Structure 1
Amino acid sequence: MSTGRLDPKIPWLKSKVVEALVKPYATKAEAEQGIANSLREAYPDPAQANPIIKETQAIYRENFFPEVKVDWRTYPDFVGHKNWNGCFRCHDGKHVAADGKVSIKASDCRSCHLILAQGSGEALEQINAKGHDFIHTDAPYAEFSCVDCHTGGPQK
């Protein structure tokens, strides 16, 4: 609502959206359908409902992962990964998916981030739409995650 993608003037919008988001869904496909059904019931006019549904489904896709039973309520204090483990509690290179593939490793910044430019001076002007590999400011730390050194307190 604060971004303007959902109209705060619509009656009961936040309540209805949150209600649709937090229902238990087994898969993202089931969630998309459930969200659409819930919000169409609350807002029968398609002109009003369709943008609400689209945005709510986008919120779900970005914040809910039913296959691994994780959503914004599961680990409320573990967003990010610089000063605490955050995502790297699981995406640490040690966990494997059901197909045997290693999940996102802590040293694979490009799995989640698109680094358009980095550094300073002329280096910062080298914008790359496909993204740069992350380069640590003082030395390569490929085998470490950010939290190994960045603790939110004095540096180790």
Structure 2
Amino acid sequence: MTRGIDHIGMTVPSIEEATAFFQEAFGAEVSYDVQRPEQEPMAGDEVEKQLGLPEGTSIIHMRLLRIGDGPTFELFELGTEPDKEPLRISDIGIHHFAFYVDNIEQASERFEAAGGSLLSPPHSLDDEEDGPHNAGVYGKTPWGSLVELIKYPDGVDYPKGSEAPRWTPPKN
């Protein structure tokens, strides 16, 4: 039986810079480093097979971050250049993650102060997620990954017959 999402993996250009961004923007805390820069890089046939890496790719730093009451973030820093730019919504694959925030204006300010850039001002949500206090906004991290800030304190109007309400972090 699946209990939930344990962690989300993300390749970043610099773990130290990404850590500083997530700490400033979202209050992230470091759990631990799986792979430290002073260790021999993770590389070779076995690592490539286990992680589906292209031949010659190495991992020089891996760190787990805890942000609020959600899954852990596992950051990867490669010893080689990444193959592509960060995904967009128009690309196949996981292209963004969303942080539930209580105050979207304040969270937006922190996001931008940490070096992120919002794609628009915060806006109302649509359809089942619509409510007078519900809002969302997309932004990009300093390295270009897409992040969403969202809040829906007025709840979600689930369609009749909906099988499962969406997960929402508990209030502190």
Q: Which has the larger radius of gyration?
A: 1
Instruction: Provide the TM-score with structure 1 as the length reference.
Output: 0.26
Kindly indicate which of the two structures has a greater share of residues assigned to helix.
1
Kindly indicate which of the two structures has a greater share of residues assigned to strand.
2
